[in-house]
Amino acid sequence: MNLVQFYAEHSGEVLGLIGQHLYLVAISTSVAIAVGLPVGIALTRRPRWRGPVLGLANVVQTIPSLALFGFLIPLPLIGGIGARTAVVALVLYGLLPIVRNTYTGITGVDPAVREAGRGMGMTDRQLLLMVDLPLALGVILAGVRIATVVNVGTATIAAAIGAGGLGVYIFRGVAMVNDALILAGALPAALMALAADGLLGLAERRLAWRPK
């Protein structure tokens, strides 16, 4: 059975899985940004927390994804079988690049420029919104891009805990020793990762200030 034929016969199911996959990635990346950006900013204001917070985020990153999904299942509220648990895991994975890049982006802003801003009478808030964030935007968006691309891949494993997505075909293909089925899931996932990488890369170049 070739791939084209397979997609033609299962178009409804394929589109459904792609939709689920996009949903998992979009929700988890949005939450990771909503949490990671303020945390990253807070770290630049409280450097003492930097070690522990980034360390913890690093440790989470090293937990194999299948194991993390497994650990989360028995937890109350966030656990269980299904998309919610998968989203929680993906958020955890997405946090590190976003927190770290927000922190590095802002601390990388030329100290002379920040000092000029403060010396001219900017409030902390104005300094953040007019200087820190615009100048760090490129680095922050690079973190978002990494988080998104990694999560497109990791989300395939969410199928193992019943969260759906393109991983459904991959797991089914592995169980049935059917390469075409594995490919049917892996190919759109790979294309999705490439597309996310391209689009966010474009956003990075369009939105971020850069010298020369």
Partner 1 sequence: MTPALEVRGLRAGRVLVNDLSFTVGSGETLVLLGRSGSGKTTTLKLINRLLEPTAGEVHLAGERAADLPVTRLRRRIGYVIQEIGLFPHFTVERNVGLVPRLEGWPPARTAERVRELLDLVGLDPRQFSTRYPHQLSGGQRQRVGVARALAADPPLLLLDEPFGALDPITRVELQREFRTLEGRLGKGVVFVTHDVREGLLLGTRIGLMHEGRLAFLGTPDEFRSSDHPECQAFMSAA
Query: Which residue of 40, 105, 117, 164 would you call a contact of partner 1, by CB under 8 A?
Result: 117
Query: Which residue of 4, 77, 120, 177 would you call a contact of partner 1, by CB under 8 A?
Result: 120
- Looking from the CA of 4 toward its CB, the CA atoms found within 13 Å total 0
How far is 115 from 120, CA to CA, in rounded Å? 8
Query: Which residue of 8, 75, 116, 202 would you call a contact of partner 1, by CB under 8 A?
Result: 116
Window of 19-27, 59-67, 105-113, 177-185 that interacts with partner 1 by CB under 8 A: 105-113
Nearer to partner 1, 4 or 112 (CB): 112
Number of chain positions touching partner 1 (CB under 8 A): 20
- Closest among 26, 162, 14 to 86, alpha carbons compared: 162
Site string for partner 1, 152-171 (x = CB under 8 A): --------------------
- Closest among 47, 31, 33, 41 to 145, alpha carbons compared: 33
Helix, strand, coil in percent for the chain, rounding step 5: 85, 0, 15
Query: Which residue of 8, 15, 75, 113 would you call a contact of partner 1, by CB under 8 A?
Result: 113
How far is 43 from 49, CA to CA, in rounded Å? 6
Q: Does 203 contact partner 1 by CB under 8 A?
A: no
**Closest separation in Å from C-beta 198 to partner 1:** 25
Both tokens of 113, joined, read 């420029």
In the DSSP assignment, the letter for residue 179 is H
Nearer to partner 1, 15 or 116 (CB): 116
How far is 127 from 114, CA to CA, in rounded Å? 7
Nearer to partner 1, 74 or 121 (CB): 121
Window of 17-25, 32-40, 85-93, 112-120 that interacts with partner 1 by CB under 8 A: 112-120
How far is 31 from 175, CA to CA, in rounded Å? 33
User: Where do contacts with partner 1 occur on this chain (CB under 8 A)?
Assistant: 110, 112-113, 115-123, 126, 130-131, 134-135, 209, 211-212
